[in-house]
Amino acid sequence: MKYTLVYIMGLLSFLTSCFTGKSRSAPVTDKSMQKESIYNFSIKSLDGSQTIQLSDFKGKYMVLVNTASECGYTPQYEDLQKFHEQYGDSIVLIGFPCNQFGGQEPGTAEAIQNFCQKNYGVNFRMTEKIDVKGESAHPIYKWLCSASLNGSSDFEVKWNFNKFVVGPDGQLLHYFGSSVKPLDDEFLAVFGK
């Protein structure tokens, strides 16, 4: 009788977890199994004068794009600047100069800043030059590209001007390759524009 009662209690517990989705097991305490928040990260600005804290942008969309000054996609700086001018109050745009694709961002921070300002009037946030792939990738890009960190999907930055969109809640929403421009309908649709 005692064993029958234990069996029935175990069966009821199992059936309850099956139908309610609740388990009686202990919560996961291994932090490596839980996704990180994009808001944990920061990065130096291009001129090194300040630290950009991503936590400052809670409640806003973020567009994170790896940039280069000598790429066939470099003219997208013009569209990025227009995008920033139109939507900068609600969407934070951050450019991440990177020299990993064809050596197309060889300049110093000062050279990059002068190029962007002189040729495209860029005044949106630009960060220090970083790596966006491989072992030396900046932690922000490790988060963007790893499902185990972002809780969404794995991605690979394949060239300059890849674009990641993070929602106002800090969730990774979308990834766009280089050929999608910031003023294209499919890009703007993510923001309901």
> Cβ–Cβ contacts within 10 Å for residue 65, how many?
25
Domain boundaries, the chain: 36-189
Give pLDDT, residue 23: 28
Residues forming the active site:
71
Supply 113's token pair.
């800043």
Q: How far apart are CA 70 and CA 160, in angstroms?
A: 10
> Cβ–Cβ contacts within 10 Å for residue 42, how many?
15
Q: Which residues contact 170 (CB under 8 A, 6 or more apart)?
A: 37, 38, 39, 58
Between CA 187 and CA 193, with CA 189 as vertex, the angle to 5 degrees is 110
Mapped onto helix, strand or coil, the DSSP state of residue 71 is: coil
CB 93 within 8 A of CB 84: yes
pLDDT in tens, 85-120: 999 999 999 999 999 999 999 999 999 999 999 999
CATH of 36-189, one of 3.40.30.10, 2.40.50.140, 3.60.15.10, 3.40.50.300: 3.40.30.10
Q: How far apart are CA 103 and CA 193, in angstroms?
A: 35
Mapped onto helix, strand or coil, the DSSP state of residue 28 is: coil
- pLDDT digit of tens for each residue in the chain (193 aa)? 544 433 344 434 433 333 333 322 222 233 344 478 999 999 999 999 999 999 999 999 999 999 999 999 999 999 999 999 999 999 999 999 999 999 999 999 999 999 999 999 999 999 999 999 999 999 999 999 999 999 989 999 999 999 999 999 999 999 999 999 999 999 999 999 8
**What is the reported pTM?**
0.82
